[in-house]
């Protein structure tokens, strides 16, 4: 077990060949180290390990002296290098020196292990030295020795060919585009003792990703999920169709358009593998669906956006954001959010109580006046039409307040007239205000009041959500008390169930009084067919959680990560991603045109008046029956009394 403090460890493998290009071994080897040091400096590397073979001529101390400025570890393997133990997650970028490219020992102990561990990638900068041969090209030598290994597009391998005659060692860049393609060797620069390590401008000014962006029409495999595909369509033509059926599988089909752009960007072609789900973790630890195809290496990346969730993070890596999904509550906003009866609405509760108090005052005051009136009337021997009892007072006050005006000749006293006049004036003002308000409020579009989750919770609307996994994660796992209340008290109802599929949810939104939590763009596409324009304009969104972002996924340490990340960011920067989003979003009707044109009093608002009338009629009928009964009983009594007599 080798425990390494990786931050301060520089690994250099120096494999000293038993044979060498010339006689002056010591001299050549010091040139090797000079070249390697120049390489380290130009690549800004600080870390290495010396793998010293038993037959190496040089002493450990001389490596240390020559590489004094770098953190050096010397390691003498007796068997294959255990790369898994040497490099682990987030180990710093490390330079490796192989100073005999063609030696059997290097192949046996280093290349094979590195190839199996996948270490010919950008985490390691390999520097290899080989001897030139007069009758062969340098490229053919490199290809002969390295072609067998797992070298990918992100390999960082620099091969220097020792040249005894002129002392200018040519440098080559070695990589491969895809797994089945030929090893590519490109001239990279030159090294000499005098001039040091020089690379051609292309190599100094461009990153490897940019240099290797023409993929020469290799085929990469992408995986995507089609969930709502109608029967009778071919998988690929359905996926790539951006004109029809935009409401089905919009996310996957929208992002596929971006991958089509990437094909031309990188000069590659895509082989699409289809599945029917996004991916679930199976009990045996493997994944199904798109995640399964990506983690098992069947596909190079996902062509559909995958939500960033923690349990996927351990198995795959994500690209930058490819798609943003807005998930809101959507409902038809009721014309009036108040449950309070519209007929009571013009005045607040306190004002109603004040009005009632005033009326009661008048009712109490009037009998005093009436008593006085009666005394006067009797004095003047006029018709005693004025009754002293409460009924008379009650109806008189009612007449006053409902602007009927009691008969004038009944009241002669100025004091009574003042009371009646004041009451009339008061009732006039109240009625004017009340009537105007009712008419005005019915005509005007009241401002929307259900704009927050709290208001939605307090309103009388039924609340539901789409039967989809992220909704359960969102509502089931929140620390917010309000969201939890909404979920447990309003959404989780057995009958009728408020957890519906999106189509059923759209129908209930159409029927009104129902708020539904789902992906907003898909919902709008369904609703635009179900609702007329006026109803569509009543739609109100409530958002309480940030939108979900999703990116493509790749296997861990995939060589295509940089290409995909670059492509996604580039498309975003160029505005093509936003343009594609626009093509896939539903153009909404202009609601400012239909505003305030259709005004009507619907039954919902008029019902209380009808209901009150009905109640009154019932009450009067009951009273009528009671009166009949009483009349009949008293008639019977009278008869019995007569008979007794
Ligand atoms: C190490 O660096 C110092 C200054 O940066 C330099 O003077 C010295 O020559 C270097 N040593 C070697 C062995 O390159
Ligand atoms: C090249 O020359 C070397 C000797 O210098 C010889 O061993 C080798 O077989 C030659 N290779 C070819 C391909 O002719
Ligand atoms: C794409 O790759 C093919 C195959 O190597 C090549 O013939 C073609 O020129 C390349 N296209 C571009 C635009 O580089
Ligand atoms: C690229 O590859 C695809 C399939 O692998 C092939 O159909 C197409 O003709 C190729 N294009 C070029 C320019 O070679
Ligand atoms: C895991 O289980 C699924 C079915 O649940 C099966 O299809 C898959 O082959 C299994 N994978 C492994 C590695 O056993
Ligand atoms: C949600 O959908 C799953 C399958 O897609 C189904 O088994 C489940 O019964 C549904 N739940 C509700 C509440 O409809
Ligand atoms: C809720 O969170 C816990 C840990 O944060 C996690 O184990 C659990 O699976 C989550 N539940 C849902 C429904 O996402
Ligand atoms: C290189 O490969 C190793 C092992 O597969 C991996 O841990 C590392 O992340 C890879 N580095 C890069 C830059 O992909």
- State which of 443, 458, 486 marks the end of a domain: 443
457 and 514 share a domain? yes
- Residue range 567-589, pLDDT digits in tens: 999 999 999 999 999 999 888 88
Which residue intervals of 147-218 are DSSP H helices? 201-205, 208-211
234 and 257 share a domain? yes
51 and 119 share a domain? yes
The residue contributing the CA closest to ligand 1 atom 5 is: 69
Q: Return the ligand 3 atom nearest residue 217 CA.
A: 2
109: left (phi over 0), alpha (psi -120 to 50) or beta: alpha
Average of per-residue pLDDT across 21-34: 57
Look at residue 392 in the predicted model and tell me its pLDDT.
Answer: 77
Whether 9 maps to a domain, the answer reads no
497 lines ligand 6 (CB under 6 A): yes
Look at residue 56 in the predicted model and tell me its pLDDT.
Answer: 57
pLDDT greater than 90 at residue 614: yes
- Residue range 202-236, pLDDT digits in tens: 888 888 999 999 999 999 999 999 988 899 889 99
Mean pLDDT over all residues of the chain?
83
499 lines ligand 6 (CB under 6 A): yes
Q: Are strands 514-519 and 462-466 parallel, antiparallel or unpaired?
A: parallel
Rounded-to-10 torsion of CA 242, 245, 249, 255: 10
79 and 196 share a domain? yes
| Domain hosting residue 632, numbered range | 606-638
Q: Which residues contact 83 (CB under 8 A, 6 or more apart)?
A: 113, 114, 117, 119
Look at residue 3 in the predicted model and tell me its pLDDT.
Answer: 39
- State which of 145, 179, 208 marks the end of a domain: 208
Looking at the chain, the whole-number percentage of residues with pLDDT higher than 90 is 30
266 and 386 share a domain? no
Task: Count the Cβ atoms, other than its own, within 10 Å of residue 331.
Answer: 26
Per-residue DSSP letter, 7: G
149 and 221 share a domain? no
Alpha carbons 599 and 278: distance in angstroms, whole number:
47
pLDDT band at 259 (very low <50, low <70, confident <90, very high): very high
Average of per-residue pLDDT across 138-157: 91
Q: What are phi and psi of 185, to 5 degrees?
A: -125, 120
Q: What are phi and psi of 314, to 5 degrees?
A: -75, -20
User: Bigger pLDDT: 282 or 28?
Assistant: 282
Distance from the CA of 87 to the center of ligand 8, in angstroms? 9
* Count, residues in the chain: 645
Which pair of structure tokens corresponds to residue 107?
A: 């192949």
Structural domain count, the chain: 5
110 and 58 share a domain? yes
100 and 194 share a domain? yes
For ligand 4, residues with CB inside 6 Å are: 217, 219, 269
Whether 599 maps to a domain, the answer reads no
- Residue range 585-608, pLDDT digits in tens: 888 888 777 665 555 666 776 777
Distance from the CA of 228 to the center of ligand 7, in angstroms? 28
Whether 560 maps to a domain, the answer reads yes
CATH of the domain at 477: 3.40.190.10
Average of per-residue pLDDT across 179-191: 90
398 and 269 share a domain? no
Alpha carbons 174 and 188: distance in angstroms, whole number:
9
* Cross-sheet strand order for the sheet of 306-307: 306-307, 548-555, 316-325
Shortest-distance ligand to the CA of residue 68 = 1
Shortest-distance ligand to the CA of residue 474 = 7
- Residue range 375-391, pLDDT digits in tens: 777 656 554 455 556 77
Whether 531 maps to a domain, the answer reads yes
Q: Which residues contact 265 (CB under 8 A, 6 or more apart)?
A: 213, 567, 570
Look at residue 600 in the predicted model and tell me its pLDDT.
Answer: 62
Lowest mean pLDDT among 156-170, 388-402, 412-426: 388-402
- State which of 422, 443, 464 marks the end of a domain: 443
Shortest-distance ligand to the CA of residue 118 = 8
Q: Is 56 helix (H, G, I), strand (E, B) or coil?
A: coil
200 and 240 share a domain? no
pLDDT greater than 60 at residue 256: yes
Q: Is 629 helix (H, G, I), strand (E, B) or coil?
A: helix
pLDDT greater than 80 at residue 506: yes
Whether 15 maps to a domain, the answer reads no
Q: Are strands 462-466 and 301-302 parallel, antiparallel or unpaired?
A: unpaired
285 lines ligand 5 (CB under 6 A): no
Distance from the CA of 552 to the center of ligand 3, in angstroms? 26
pLDDT greater than 50 at residue 20: no
pLDDT greater than 80 at residue 565: yes
Side-chain-side CA neighbours of 642 within 13 Å: the count stands at 6
Look at residue 83 in the predicted model and tell me its pLDDT.
Answer: 72
- Residue keyed to tokens 């292309």: 202
64 and 142 share a domain? yes
Whether 478 maps to a domain, the answer reads yes
Whether 491 maps to a domain, the answer reads yes
Look at residue 310 in the predicted model and tell me its pLDDT.
Answer: 87
Shortest-distance ligand to the CA of residue 70 = 1
* Cross-sheet strand order for the sheet of 183-192: 94-98, 124-131, 157-162, 169-176, 183-192, 196-199
User: Bigger pLDDT: 624 or 96?
Assistant: 624
Alpha carbons 580 and 256: distance in angstroms, whole number:
10
Q: Are strands 301-302 and 269-275 parallel, antiparallel or unpaired?
A: unpaired
Average of per-residue pLDDT across 192-202: 89
Sign of the CA dihedral running 578, 579, 585, 587: positive
295 and 358 share a domain? no
Distance from the CA of 262 to the center of ligand 3, in angstroms? 14
Whether 13 maps to a domain, the answer reads no
Look at residue 434 in the predicted model and tell me its pLDDT.
Answer: 84
User: How many Å separate Cα 507 from the centre of its chain?
Assistant: 24
């Amino acid at each position: 077990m080798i425990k390494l403090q990786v931050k301060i460890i520089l690994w250099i493998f120096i494999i000293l060949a038993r044979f060498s290009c010339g006689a002056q071994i010591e001299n050549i080897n010091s040139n090797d180290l000079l070249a390697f040091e120049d390489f380290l400096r130009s690549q800004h590397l600080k870390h290495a390990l010396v793998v010293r073979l038993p037959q190496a001529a040089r002493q450990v101390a001389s490596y240390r002296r020559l590489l004094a400025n770098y953190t050096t570890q010397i390691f003498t393997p007796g068997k294959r290098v255990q790369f898994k133990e040497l490099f682990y997650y987030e180990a710093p970028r490390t330079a490796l020196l192989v100073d005999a490219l063609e030696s059997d020992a290097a192949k046996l102990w280093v290349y094979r292990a590195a190839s199996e561990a996948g270490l010919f990638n950008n985490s390691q900068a390999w520097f290899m030295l080989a001897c030139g041969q007069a009758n062969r090209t340098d490229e053919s030598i490199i290809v002969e020795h390295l072609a067998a290994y797992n070298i990918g597009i992100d390999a960082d391998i620099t091969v220097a060919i020792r040249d005894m005659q002129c002392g200018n060692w040519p440098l080559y860049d070695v990589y491969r585009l895809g797994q089945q393609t030929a090893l590519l060797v490109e001239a990279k620069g030159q090294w000499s003792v005098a001039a040091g390590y020089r690379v051609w401008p292309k190599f100094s000014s461009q990153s490897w990703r940019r240099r290797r962006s023409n993929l020469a029409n290799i085929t990469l495999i992408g995986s995507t999920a089609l969930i709502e595909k109608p029967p009778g369509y071919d998988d690929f033509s359905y996926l790539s169709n951006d004109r029809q059926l935009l409401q089905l599988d919009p996310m996957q089909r929208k992002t596929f358009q971006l991958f089509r752009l990437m094909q031309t960007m990188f000069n590659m072609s895509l082989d699409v593998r289809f599945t029917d789900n996004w991916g679930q973790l199976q009990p045996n630890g493997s994944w199904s669906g798109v995640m399964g195809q990506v983690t098992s290496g069947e596909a190079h990346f996902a062509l559909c956006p995958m939500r960033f969730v923690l349990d996927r993070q351990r198995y795959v890596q994500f690209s930058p954001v490819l798609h943003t999904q807005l998930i809101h509550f959507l409902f038809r906003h009721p014309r009036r959010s108040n449950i309070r009866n519209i007929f009571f609405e013009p005045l607040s509760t306190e004002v109603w109580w004040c009005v009632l108090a005033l009326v009661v005052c008048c009712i109490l005051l009037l009998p005093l006046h009436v008593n006085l009136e009666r005394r006067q009337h009797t004095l003047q021997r006029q018709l005693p039409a004025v009754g002293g009892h409460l009924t008379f007072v009650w109806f008189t006050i009612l007449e006053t307040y409902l602007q009927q005006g009691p008969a004038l000749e009944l009241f002669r006293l100025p004091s009574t007239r003042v009371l009646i006049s004041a009451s009339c004036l008061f009732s006039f003002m109240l009625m004017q205000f009340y009537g105007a308000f009712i008419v005005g409020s019915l005509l005007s579009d009241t401002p929307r009041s259900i704009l927050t989750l709290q208001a939605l919770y307090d309103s009388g609307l039924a609340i539901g959500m789409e039967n989809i996994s992220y909704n359960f994660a969102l509502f089931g796992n929140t620390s917010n008390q309000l969201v939890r209340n909404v979920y447990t008290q309003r959404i989780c109802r057995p009958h009728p169930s408020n957890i519906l599929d999106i189509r059923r949810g759209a129908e209930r939104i159409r029927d009104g009084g129902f708020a539904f939590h789902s992906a907003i763009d898909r919902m709008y596409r369904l609703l635009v067919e179900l609702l007329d324009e006026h109803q569509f304009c009543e739609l109100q969104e409530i958002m309480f959680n940030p939108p979900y972002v999703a990116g493509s996924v790749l296997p861990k340490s995939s060589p295509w990560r940089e290409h995909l990340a670059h492509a996604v960011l580039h498309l975003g920067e160029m505005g093509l991603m936003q343009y594609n989003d626009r093509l896939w979003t539903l153009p909404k009707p202009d609601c400012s045109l239909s505003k305030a044109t259709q005004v009507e009093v619907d039954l919902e608002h008029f019902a209380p008046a009808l209901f009150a009338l009905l109640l009154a009629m019932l009450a009067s009928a009951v009273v009528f029956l009671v009166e009949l009964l009483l009349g009949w009983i008293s008639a019977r009594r009278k008869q019995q009394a007569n008979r007794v007599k």
